[in-house]
Structure 1
Amino acid sequence: MIDVHTLSPWLWIAAPLAIVFAYTIFGISGFGSTIIAVPILAHWLPVTFLVPLMVLLDMSAAMLIGSKNREHVSKEEIKRLVPVMFVGFLLGVTLLVKVDPDKLRVALGVFAVAVGVHGIVNPVLHSTISKWWSIPAGLFGGSIATIFGAGGPIYATYLGGRLHDKNQIRSTVSTLISISAFSRAVLYAIGGLLLHWTIFAGMALLAPFVWLGLKAGSRIHTGLTQTQMRRVVGILLVCTGASLLVHVFG
């Protein structure tokens, strides 16, 4: 898949820094690692290597956050979202074959920027959105996760309109990421994308930096108020959407 002997020396500096930063964001919000790390590391490594690697790292990180904050997970929202999310996985496979991925990137980018700006300007949740929004959130989030490995912004947007507790939002999003990552890992294993020692070697080498990022992000998360947390998520959504649009039009 990759020849370790031809890797750039700069990768050994860039990869730890990118992973620490990506998982600091994950530790704060419960999502965002893949969409931050992959565009950076894709300068040196093939996406076919990075996506399976990030699935394994995300699954481990999400399980770590979820296990430590299990009491904050909204079981009601998990029950609503997960069945629809699996339908979204199947829809994503169809879209991946039939629809131009750049068009999907533009749609997700515009959506993330719009929602992010709204969250920054209006960080206080005055009313709760309907539980029926779980259907489009699950479908869209599952589809985007299948195609780009980045369903977190969709889940965070929905849960941000449903839940008033920042710990509930982060823990529930990370649980959804864990379920999504595990499901995709099974699919990648069946497809042969995980059957290479370099992926597991990369996971072992980067695991300490994932832990450092999660530790830093969790500390920042603890110090944030609910309003500040919504603004941080809003900024992250804007950056996420902007990066997707730059990828298409840049």
Structure 2
Amino acid sequence: MLTPFAELSGVLDQLGLTPVDWLLIEGGVIAAYLVFAIAGFGTALVAGPLLIHFMPLSRIIPLLVMLDFLAAFSHLLPSRQSIVRAELLRLVPCMAIGCTLGVVFLLNLKSDLLLLLMGLFLIGYSIYSLAIKVRPTQLSAGWSIPMGTVGGLFGALFGSGGFLYAIYLNSRLTDKSQARATQNALISCSTIVRLSLFAVTGVYAQLPLLVMAVCLLPAMLVGSWIGRRLMKRLSRETFVRLVTWLVLISGITLVGRYVTG
């Protein structure tokens, strides 16, 4: 009869990761949640291009969703009084529809096609963020439908639809603390929807995926801790712009990897 330690060791062996692989993965997750603590989104934008060298995107997104769930609620609790519930109620139903579509695509598309799509997504997001200097000053409430739906789709498929929520909320709410708190609440709702969908479809029946999430939990906590302290010393805009350049390079790398086979 195997001991719990032996069973755990066997599960870790199934992952096929070397100590160097683990070091790179843990470092990528720390960087991802450092960015999340400052920007409020972007874990998959940062960690995805690194993790995709070790596992398919169809495992990366469910893995990060588990960690996002904990990270989002830790950011939500201190600011929950600033949430604008009217905007939240507009976005959540559309986001849920988008998440459902994204999960269907994620679990059914071929891994090489997902690699290409993620690379194109990263490039498109980066070019938009770097090129567009003037954001919409005021969007109508009707924009909650496309922004919520596409944000949910991108969130489930690529792990990052938060930038669309940020664009919508920042154009609707003049109080930045309200916009940030509502965005945190929306991302929390998004993680619940995606967790539920992945659980229903049997993704979390894979024990190695759950064990890996537990192993990466300390890295998530460290990254969040560092990010919260950097946020007090560094301009959010400057930091996000730097990260966007890195995301652009990652996107180009992924597309190049797809083209070269």
Q: Shorter chain as normaliser: what TM range?
A: 0.7 to 0.9
2:6 counterpart residue number: none
Deviations 1:100-159 (A, max 9, x none): 65468636632542234324xx5xx79333333222211211111222222122222222
* Pick aligned residue for 2:61 from 47, 51, 65: 51
1:244 counterpart residue number: 251
* Pick aligned residue for 1:117 from 120, 131, 137: 131
1:29 counterpart residue number: 39
Alignment CA distance shift 1:193-1:173 (3 Å):
same
**1:84–1:139 contact (8 Å) kept in structure 2:** yes
**1:8–1:44 contact (8 Å) kept in structure 2:** no
Q: Return the offset for 1:54.
A: 0.7
Q: Return the offset for 1:23.
A: 0.3
Q: Write the letter of the residue equivalent to 2:12.
A: V
Q: Return the offset for 1:31.
A: 0.5
Are 1:128 and 2:138 counterparts? yes
* Pick aligned residue for 1:106 from 117, 120, 123: 120
Measured in 1, the distance between the counterparts of 2:87 and 2:123 equals 25
Alignment CA distance shift 1:104-1:161 (3 Å):
farther
1:69 counterpart residue number: 79
Percent identity reads: 31
**2:26–2:216 contact (8 Å) kept in structure 1:** yes
Unaligned ranges ≥5, structure 1: none
Q: TM-score, normalised by structure 2?
A: 0.78
Q: Return the offset for 1:16.
A: 1.9
Deviations 1:7-54 (A, max 9, x none): 212122112211111100000011111221122122223434322211
Measured in 2, the distance between the counterparts of 1:235 and 1:157 equals 18
Measured in 1, the distance between the counterparts of 2:136 and 2:161 equals 25
* Pick aligned residue for 2:199 from 165, 189, 206: 189
Are 1:82 and 2:92 counterparts? yes
Are 1:229 and 2:236 counterparts? yes
Q: Write the letter of the residue equivalent to 2:219.
A: F
Q: Write the letter of the residue equivalent to 1:114.
A: Y
2:3 counterpart residue number: none
1:4 counterpart residue number: 12
Q: Write the letter of the residue equivalent to 1:62.
A: A
Deviations 1:156-175 (A, max 9, x none): 22223333444333332232
Deviations 1:185-207 (A, max 9, x none): 11111211101222222222221
Alignment CA distance shift 1:111-1:37 (3 Å):
closer
Q: Write the letter of the residue equivalent to 2:30.
A: V
* Pick aligned residue for 2:212 from 174, 193, 202: 202
Q: Write the letter of the residue equivalent to 2:147.
A: A
Measured in 2, the distance between the counterparts of 1:44 and 1:118 equals 33
**2:147–2:168 contact (8 Å) kept in structure 1:** yes
